[in-house]
A = this chain, B = another copy of it.
Amino acid sequence: MFEITTQMIQIFAIFIAFLALGFAAWLYTWVKSQPSSNARIAEIGEYIRKGANTFLKREYLVLARFTAVAAVLIFVLLPHPIWKGDITKNILMAVSYIFGTILSALAGKIGIQIATIANIKSAEAAQKGIKPSFMTGFRGGAVMGMAVVGTSLLGITLVLILVQDATSLLGFSFGASSLALFAKAGGGIFTKTADISADLVGKVELGIPEDDPRNPAVIADNVGDNVGDVAGMGADLFDSNVASMAAALVMATALGGIASKNVIMVFAYAAIGLLSSIIGVATARIGKNGDPNKALNSSTYVTTAVYAVLTALTTYLFGFEWRIWGATAVGLIVGTIIGITSDYFTNDNKPPVQEVAKASKSGPAFTILSGFSYGLLSCLPALIGIAISALLAFKICAPLGAVTGQEAEYGMFGISMAALGMLSIVGMIISNDAYGPIVDNARGLAEMGGFGEKVIAITDELDSAGNTVKAVTKGFSISAAGLTVISLLGAFMSEVNTAAQELGLVAAGESLIKNFDIMNPTVFFGLIVGVSIPAIFSAMLMLGVDKNAQRMVAEIHRQFDTIPGLKEGRGDAKPDYDKCIDIATTGAIKELIPAGVVAIISTIAVGLIGGAQAIGGFLTGNIASGLLLALLMSNAGGTWDNAKKYVEAGNCGGKGSVAHKAAVVGDTVGDPFKDTAGPSINTQITVVSLVSSLLAVIFLQFSIF
């Protein structure tokens, strides 16, 4: 058995983080060095790159203002109001917060940077076959995966080394989350506005193919893939990853201080997770005529296996607690099972998708009803999985606190380690996730560049693999967020008790709050109000898409009506792509702030009305309805998407049939479900949890009940 100190493990974590960043740089250079020659594609690619960067710039400008206001508020109020003395901690907290926002923004920026190169390269490579095209797309996605996880590990480690205080990690995590909230919401509104509008006028009304360059919204659609699915998703998973580590570290520190073995384990496991992802990415291969689905899945399994083995080895060598390893393993296993069940509900080889396609023969109402119903059903395995993994992780780890009477604390720490286990392979997940929009873009470019049917068929196959793997990773990340927020509930309680001791409300070592009793009417009040928040949040985002898409549809109609020769595809008739990008940008930026602000303000309101007890219930209500809605929307959206593809593949009447028209309606409804509202709820719950923990000290002092 070897001895290891916090310092050593932190250096190791930093080393792995730099290894990941170096690997990302190598992958970036590799992708960039791939050949490209087609001028038409280069031109369109440039449009996309410019559009994405314009959006990002305008979005970040708005968010910079929000960050500035929030940073000032944090400086004034947290961890204690500045008029109560010591402002060093307030400065550190505000700086941690800003640091979190910057790294999150950076993750988005890096993603856009590589994605808008890799899409062109992947499209060009498709002319040579599926293998080079896949490798380009996959390695482009991996740049994002490595960069996001590398920076998050680096950020967490640096903050803890410099500030030596776990509460500041919550500030850092809040920075990442609040930015992710807006980036995901804004990107989600942008991408679905463009996607829906382009499909509605192009495919449904005029019957022109997807990605047809005559369609004025086609570039906006491709830009959307980048700002929504790449930048937004990157910020989202950056946030989940940081939040799960922050929750685990807050509880590990509360249990044994900053130099304890539990803290060491958190860093060790997180670093090993990243290392496993590096190995998984590096070993990803596809046969010459191979199956991209298999390649994506097998690299995920490699990562999982490497992680399980390496953590076991480390636990053995350094004498870590096997029980904590067990909790991590539970998370990983349950995560995989949830991924497989999500796949069941969204895979077109399985009954649910086929039943939805069949129902579509009776018209769109039946597409909606059956898809929505399967979406509801799909919540069951995931929720049971989350429930069981939380219960098992708690029960496995609680005995560690038997001697010191800290069973509950160790149990909650166990849950946070299960979340860490589920998210351990997040580097791999992001790589797979970012692969999706890159090859989706590549498909569009191949179409617009006129590469011919054979090449488009290749990019289609790559795109379809991206969709399948996306459903699995989404189930994974929602469940992990679920476990993370459960452990953030534990972090909230420990923050409340620390604050109560500092305020002199209880003696040192005593707890003010020992439970959140459902029978306490204040807790129940918070719980019922909490249930409504994810519902309003997602409603506001979807109404945003709805309104915005109506504006864009009108603009597309205008262009087709007023630009002579555009509909007929005359060579000299050029659509005004920029106008559509501008509508999507302006709309998204207008709509992204209110939804996020409502979530934050309502948390503060509940805390000021009912204090810490009401917040305990509020967070629980958020988790309950948030998980339900996130799973429902993501899975129903995935089911509709693949039901449409299933019909388009020639089933139930094939393209142009009644079933196809109905399936397109389902897909259009599903788009904002699965790409705007559903995945944003994760972030919304996390933000609410972090705001609660940060403001615990305020709620203790000022509340009505």
Q: What is A's interface to B at a CB cutoff of 8 Å? A: 196, 200, 204, 359, 362-366, 368-370, 372-377, 379-380, 383-384, 386-388, 390-391, 394-395, 408, 411-412, 415, 482, 486, 489-490, 493, 515-529, 531-532, 535-536, 538-540, 542-543, 545-546, 549-550, 553, 610, 616-617, 620-621, 623-625, 627-628, 632, 665, 668-669, 672, 705
Contact = CB atoms under 8 A, between A and B. Distances in A.
A624 B530 CA distance: 9
A527 B411 CA distance: 17
B628 A531 contact: yes
A379 to B, nearest CB: 5
Nearest to A626: B531
Looking at A384, A520, A524, the one whose CB has the most chain B CB atoms below 10 A away is A524
A376 B616 CA distance: 23
B373 A539 contact: yes
Nearest to A372: B542
Lowest 9 A-B CB distances belong to which pairs? Answer: A365-B668, A515-B517, A376-B539, A394-B521, A387-B528, A373-B539, A391-B525, A516-B518, A383-B532
Contacts of A526: 387
B624 A521 contact: no
18 contacts: A204-B363, A368-B665, A370-B543, A372-B669, A376-B536, A376-B538, A376-B542, A380-B535, A383-B529, A384-B528, A387-B526, A388-B525, A391-B521, A412-B519, A517-B518, A518-B523, A532-B628, A624-B625
Contacts of A523: 518
Nearest to A622: B624
A122 to B, nearest CB: 30
B546 A363 contact: no
A359 B550 contact: yes
Contacts of A517: 515-518
A463 to B, nearest CB: 22
Contacts of A515: 515, 517-520
Q: Copies of this chain, how many?
A: 2
Nearest to A204: B363
Looking at A372, A394, A536, A665, the one whose CB has the most chain B CB atoms below 10 A away is A372
A189 to B, nearest CB: 12
A395 B379 CA distance: 36
Contact of A384 (B383, B482, B532, B623): B532
A101 B445 CA distance: 66
A536 B377 contact: yes
B518 A616 contact: yes
A141 to B, nearest CB: 29
Given A366-B546, A516-B519, 12 more contacts: A362-B550, A365-B665, A369-B542, A373-B540, A379-B531, A383-B528, A384-B529, A387-B527, A390-B524, A411-B521, A531-B624, A531-B627
Given A376-B535, A518-B489, A549-B362, A524 B200 contact: no
A519 to B, nearest CB: 6
Contacts of A519: 408, 412, 489-490, 493, 515-516
Given A369-B669, A411-B521, A374 B539 contact: yes
B369 A545 contact: yes
A677 B486 CA distance: 30
Contacts of A542: 369-370, 372-373, 376
A540 B379 CA distance: 13
A331 to B, nearest CB: 14
A413 to B, nearest CB: 12
Contacts of A204: 363
Contacts of A705: 391, 395
Looking at A375, A376, A379, the one whose CB has the most chain B CB atoms below 10 A away is A376
A627 to B, nearest CB: 7
Contacts of A545: 369
A383 B549 CA distance: 30
A629 to B, nearest CB: 8
B627 A528 contact: yes
Nearest to A621: B624
Contacts of A490: 519
B411 A546 contact: no
Contacts of A623: 528
Contact of A525 (B380, B390, B489, B532): B390
B665 A532 contact: no
A546 B373 contact: yes
Looking at A374, A391, A411, A529, the one whose CB has the most chain B CB atoms below 10 A away is A391
A405 to B, nearest CB: 15
Given A364-B665, A543-B370, A624-B624, A379 B535 contact: yes
Contacts of A376: 535-536, 538-539, 542
Contact of A196 (B365, B370, B625): B365
A379 B532 contact: yes
A486 B412 CA distance: 27
B527 A624 contact: yes
Contacts of A386: 528
A560 to B, nearest CB: 15
A625 B376 CA distance: 11
Contacts of A359: 546, 550
B384 A524 contact: no
